[in-house]
Structure 1
Amino acid sequence: MKHSDILTIGELAERTGLTTSAIRFYETKNIVTASRNAGGQRRFMRADLRRLSFALIAQEFGFTIKEIAEQLATLPPGRAPNKADWQRLSLQFRVHLDERIARMERLRSHLNGCIGCGCLSLDKCELYNAGDAASSYGRGPRFVFGDKSFKDDKTSTLEPVNR
């Protein structure tokens, strides 16, 4: 490994736009891993720039630190990930991202109507979620989560639709 492949926490902060305390936080969450020099100072691999950038982007799309750490844990430890490593991770991440996009599209299309939350404050909820039948699916806005409304189910009027 070349000397230019090693960054101080200050250099990493400068390049990512993060504070050094934020980088230490990401380190505690296993997003990046520092080695220590003889003086005990943190040293990071240049590849940690990408890991932190990935984390920042994923957070903007609503992924939790835990979910991000789980994805990054699939990369090989102790070396900079290569293109094949990142492609493998991106394929896994794409599945999660596609699920979130689908959920956001459902939210957008249901936002002004019944979302299956159980509030029953809209007249239309009597059509889509009479008596809060969607609660049989579980907690939260069930129709935004992808459960079908009972109105959309042509086979049953009161029983939940298989997801």
Structure 2
Amino acid sequence: MAPSDGLSIGEIAERTGLAVSAIRYYEDEGLVAPWRNASGRRRFQRADIRRLSFIMVAQQFGFTLAQIKAELDLLPRHRAPNKRDWARISTEFRDGLNARIARLEKLRDTLDGCIGCGCLSLEACALYNPRDAAAEKGQGPRYLLGDRPSDVTS
């Protein structure tokens, strides 16, 4: 691409709705890779509009910048991502979203039982965790992490 080609950071900001500072941050994190023209100004490819839009959407779904970067690193930098590229990413993200939805549904379905008794203590809860048996499985909220009371020996 010739140095006169490409979009300025202001044009990218206008097209994506992102602040210039956010675009610079994403550059620092390696999510976009503009080049510098002869006067040292950043220049972006049109494909960076899609990349930045993807970053914004993926963050709204709760994905971390590290997860987003891992996916973007698999995309070609020399051309706009095509339908097949996005299909692969959507499959990966769909799996992650489905797992997150399952965890949230479990939390939703069990949270009322925990809050309903008023004790708010898994150590003291005679219904969900008698004699703190869940501690045998490790640290943290074991049942919300996927363990079942039947998995714990007591």
- State the identity %: 54
Amino acid at match of 1:140: G
SS in 2 for 1:45: coil
Amino acid at match of 2:45: M
Q: Would you say the 8 A contact 2:133–2:152 is kept in 1?
A: no
Give the superposition deviation at 1:139.
2.9
Greater mean deviation of Cα atoms: 131-140 or 50-59: 131-140
Contiguous gaps of at least 5 residues in structure 2: none
Aligned pairs (5 A) from 1:114-129: 114=114, 119-120=121-122, 125-129=125-129
Q: Would you say the 8 A contact 2:6–2:46 is kept in 1?
A: yes
Q: Distance in 2 between matches of 1:135 and 1:48?
A: 48
Q: Distance in 2 between matches of 1:17 and 1:60?
A: 15
Q: What is the aligned partner in structure 2 of residue 113 from structure 1?
A: 113
Greater mean deviation of Cα atoms: 19-28 or 94-103: 94-103
Amino acid at match of 2:153: L
Q: What is the aligned partner in structure 2 of residue 72 from structure 1?
A: 72
Amino acid at match of 1:89: I
Amino acid at match of 2:126: E
- Of Structure 1 and Structure 2, the greater helix share is in 2
Greater mean deviation of Cα atoms: 72-81 or 17-26: 72-81
SS in 2 for 1:88: helix
- In the superposition, the TM-score normalised over structure 2's length comes to 0.83
Following TM superposition, the consecutive aligned residue runs of length 4 or more in structure 1 with deviations greater than 4 angstroms are none
Aligned pairs (5 A) from 1:121-160: 125-148=125-148, 150=149, 153=150, 158=153
Q: Would you say the 8 A contact 2:33–2:44 is kept in 1?
A: yes
- In the superposition, the TM-score normalised over structure 1's length comes to 0.79
Q: Would you say the 8 A contact 1:75–1:89 is kept in 2?
A: no
Contiguous gaps of at least 5 residues in structure 1: none
